[in-house]
């Protein structure tokens, strides 16, 4: 329960309980000197009032004080160790746990949540949670437990004086409880404004070139300034909304000392209370409120933690894409059977799409922009699950297969090439991490990477910057093709694979691709009809429906063929070059 409520890892929850226990113990031991002091004073007063009574033995009290001091040191050390030292590491564990969850989520989730929001949860919320559970939560729980115990002891000792000291507690807690709703709302508002700033900054950094080229830097920075101002104001409002009730509650607690003094004096005057009991209560109230005051000071952070935990839960409670790790299809025919799909409950992007892409053949998906070609290719690799109908490979419904097991059989070259800020060698090797250097070189040669790599200062060991920023579009695409060649998977998805290449390079890469594609199931998405004329099968997707399918020659023979119209249109606009 604790684990779920505070989004802790299993180990984090265990260590937190241990930390809270030692914190309560340390608080209780802190009260022990007051007990010894009361007893010593009582014995001395007895001796002063009645000299016939013996002077109390100093040694015994000194020994008790020494033992208590040692106990205090020990419990303080244990509290420190089991909270500050041990709980650290929770953020690392939590980040790994969240990353594991993210790994299993469908891509639709990443479409819904923006990147800064996820980064903030994984970096900031996890760090805040760790800090709270190392510094504050054990203190809070420990103080709660020790306060309850001490309150019970006080009530048993003298209930009237106990009530005089304790009545302020529930009222202080009520003040905080009543202000919670408003604090929650202000805290959420602050987080939203901070996310706006993070989003704006990220967008500016990512699009700096485009913004400068459009001469929009000043306008953009002004907007960013406004976002920062709004976040600052939200911060002030949020802090005020928590500082006011916290200060009121703390001030209220001070009344407890006054009421103890007053009620004690009245009871003393009426002879209902012994002086020593009064004296002990006065000593207790000087210490009793200190931990509670400390807890009140950190109550705002507690509310922020609640918001952070809510965001972690929103990731953890997402439904992961699961499936069997065993994927042994009879062959690698990709079959779409009446598949209907929409992104996040939006409009239908694919409606009753049926076609088969056979193993050993090249199947080209063509059609007007927005027709659903990329979506269909991504459904085959289970980037998303179909709303209706079945996508299967070799007779196995892909929605029953674990995405990672499924993707072992896929090599992809998409329009948006993703490269890492690493060497060319490592970027290619991503296709098959256990490939030898020789295999990487061979794949690079086949994808026609050799010429540009040889011009690089460190050849294959050259780092290529974030997402290959130091390379041209064509070079980046060739690296991605080399990666696919190296992977040598039975199914190949090509989405405008040669779009960024000039004619000379395109011809060379087409040659490389043709050896990659031999005997594979190939699904090609292309806008340029020239690149798909040699395909075995054409599937024309228009408005999310299969408008027609067949061999290119068959479709070219039909009078009303959309494919034929597209070919003719591109010929007349000169886009078909040969
Ligand atoms: N991640 C997404 N979230 C929501 N809608 C999307 C997403 N990706 C694509 N779409 C929408 O789905 C429809 C089909 O897009 P898709 O990219 O599959 O078409 P396409 O035929 O490949 O287009 P193009 O030829 O222009 O690349 C479009 O209307 C597009 O706006």
pLDDT in tens, 251-273: 888 899 999 999 999 999 998 88
Check whether 221 has a pLDDT greater than 60: yes
Q: Is the dihedral of CA 486, 491, 493, 494 positive or negative?
A: positive
CA 198 to CA 113: how far, in whole Å?
A: 14
Instruction: Look at residue 145 and tell me if it is in a domain.
Output: yes
Phi-psi sector, 521: left (phi>0), alpha (psi -120 to 50), beta: beta
The mean predicted confidence, pLDDT, of the chain is 84
Residue 563 inside a domain? The answer is no
* CA–CA gap between residue 200 and residue 196 (Å, rounded): 6
Percentage of residues in the chain with pLDDT exceeding 90? Answer: 24
Residue 416 included in any domain: no
Given a cut of 70, whether residue 234 has pLDDT beyond it is: yes
Ligand 1 mutation pick, 374, 528, 532, 539, max ligand atoms within 8 A of CB: 374
112-145 pLDDT per residue, tens:
777 777 888 888 888 887 877 777 777 777 788 8
How many whole angstroms separate alpha carbon 3 and alpha carbon 312? 12
- Mark out the alpha helices in 298-436 (DSSP H runs): 299-316, 373-380, 403-407, 424-429
Q: From the alpha carbon of 343, which atom of ligand 1 is closest? A: 4
Q: What is the CATH number of the domain that holds 125?
A: 1.20.1560.10
SS3 of the chain: helix, strand, coil, percent, to 5:
65, 10, 25
* Cβ–Cβ under 8 Å, residues 464 and 427: yes
In a domain, 400, yes or no: no
Strand 388-393, strand 396-397: pairing: antiparallel
Cβ < 6 A, ligand 1 pocket: 111, 343, 349, 369-375
* Secondary structure (3-state) at 494: strand
Residues spanned by the domain of 38:
2-316
Name, in order, each residue with C-beta under 8 angstroms of 262's C-beta and a sequence gap of 6 or more. 164
Q: What is the mean pLDDT of residues 509-531?
A: 78
C-alpha closest to that of 296 among 415, 147, 398: 147
- For the CA of 527, the closest atom of ligand 1 is 25
**Ligand 1 atom 10 nearest Cα:** 343
For residue 252, tell me if it sits in a domain: yes
- Residue 339 above 90 pLDDT? yes
Residue 104 lies in a domain: yes
- Specify if 153 maps to a domain: yes
Say how many domains are in the chain: 1
Take residue 303 and report the two structure tokens written for it: 């509310």
When pLDDT is averaged across residues 368-397 and rounded to a whole number, the result is: 91
* Candidate from 372, 493, 539, 547 with most ligand 1 atoms within 8 A of CB, to mutate: 372
Starting at the earlier edge strand, list the strands of the sheet with 396-397.
348-357, 334-342, 388-393, 396-397
The set of residues, in sequence order, having a beta carbon less than 8 Å from that of 364 and lying 6+ positions away, is 524, 525, 526, 532, 535, 537, 538, 539
What mean pLDDT comes out for the span 412-424? 83
pLDDT 10s digits, 318-329: 888 888 888 889
Q: Tokens in use for 546?
A: 């299969």
Q: Where does the pLDDT of residue 505 fall: very low under 50, low under 70, confident under 90, or very high at 90 and above?
A: low
Least Cα distance to 176 among 293, 281, 74 occurs for 293
* Residue 506 within a domain: no
pLDDT of residue 534: 83
| Residue whose CA is at the smallest distance from ligand 1 atom 3 | 343
Pocket test for ligand 1, best of 353, 370, 377 (most atoms within 8 A of CB): 370
């Amino acid at each position: 329960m604790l684990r779920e409520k505070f989004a802790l890892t299993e180990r984090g929850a265990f260590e937190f309980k241990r930390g809270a226990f030692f914190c309560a113990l340390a608080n209780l031991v802190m009260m022990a000197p007051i007990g010894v002091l009361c007893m010593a004073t009582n014995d001395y007063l007895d001796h002063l009032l009645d000299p016939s009574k013996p002077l109390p033995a100093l040694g015994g009290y000194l020994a008790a004080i020494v033992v208590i001091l040692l106990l205090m040191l020990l419990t303080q050390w244990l509290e420190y160790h089991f909270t500050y030292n041990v709980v650290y590491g929770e953020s690392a564990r939590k980040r790994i746990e969240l990353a594991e969850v993210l790994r299993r989520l469908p891509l639709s989730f990443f479409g819904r949540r923006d990147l800064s929001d996820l980064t903030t949860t994984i970096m900031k919320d996890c760090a805040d949670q760790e800090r709270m559970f190392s510094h504050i939560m054990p203190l809070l729980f420990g103080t709660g437990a020790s306060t309850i115990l001490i309150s019970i002891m006080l009530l048993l000792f003298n209930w009237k004086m106990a009530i005089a000291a304790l009545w302020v507690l529930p009222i202080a807690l009520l003040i905080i409880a009543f202000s919670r709703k408003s604090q929650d709302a202000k805290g959420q508002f602050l987080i939203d404004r901070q996310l706006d700033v993070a989003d704006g900054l990220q967008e500016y950094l990512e699009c700096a070139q485009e913004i400068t080229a459009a001469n929009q830097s000043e306008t953009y920075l002004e907007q960013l300034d406004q976002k920062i101002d709004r976040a600052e104001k939200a911060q002030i409002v949020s802090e005020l909304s928590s500082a006011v009730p916290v200060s009121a509650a703390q001030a209220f607690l001070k009344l407890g000392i006054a009421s103890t003094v007053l009620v004690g004096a009245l009871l003393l005057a009426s002879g209902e209370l012994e002086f020593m009991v009064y004296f002990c209560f006065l000593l207790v109230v000087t210490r009793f409120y200190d931990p509670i005051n400390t807890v009140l000071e950190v109550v705002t952070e507690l509310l922020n933690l609640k918001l952070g935990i809510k965001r972690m839960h929103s990731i953890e409670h997402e439904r992961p894409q699961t499936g069997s790790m065993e994927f042994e299809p009879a062959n690698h025919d990709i079959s779409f059977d009446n598949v209907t799909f929409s992104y996040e409950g939006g409009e239908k992007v694919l409606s009753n799409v049926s076609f088969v892409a056979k193993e050993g053949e090249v199947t080209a998906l063509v059609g007007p922009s927005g027709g659903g070609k990329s979506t269909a290719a991504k459904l085959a690799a289970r980037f998303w699950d179909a709303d209706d109908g079945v996508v299967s490979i070799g007779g196995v419904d892909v929605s029953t297969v674990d995405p990672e097991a499924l993707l072992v059989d896929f090599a992809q070259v998409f329009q948006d090439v993703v490269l890492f800020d690493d060497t060319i060698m490592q970027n290619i090797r991503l296709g098959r991490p256990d490939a030898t250097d020789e295999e990487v070189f061979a794949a690079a040669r086949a994808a026609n990477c050799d010429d540009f790599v040889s011009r690089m200062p460190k050849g294959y060991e050259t780092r290529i910057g974030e997402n290959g920023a130091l390379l041209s579009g064509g070079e980046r695409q060739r690296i991605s093709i080399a990666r696919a060649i190296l992977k040598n998977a039975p199914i190949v998805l090509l989405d405008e694979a040669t779009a960024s290449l000039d004619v000379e390079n395109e011809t060379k890469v087409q040659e490389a691709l043709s050896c990659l594609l031999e005997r594979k199931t190939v699904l090609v998405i292309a806008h340029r009809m020239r690149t798909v004329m040699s395909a075995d099968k054409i599937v024309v997707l228009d408005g999310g429906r299969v408008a027609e399918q067949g061999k290119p020659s068959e479709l070219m023979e039909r009078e009303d063929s959309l494919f034929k119209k597209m070919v003719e249109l591109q010929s007349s606009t000169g886009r078909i070059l040969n």
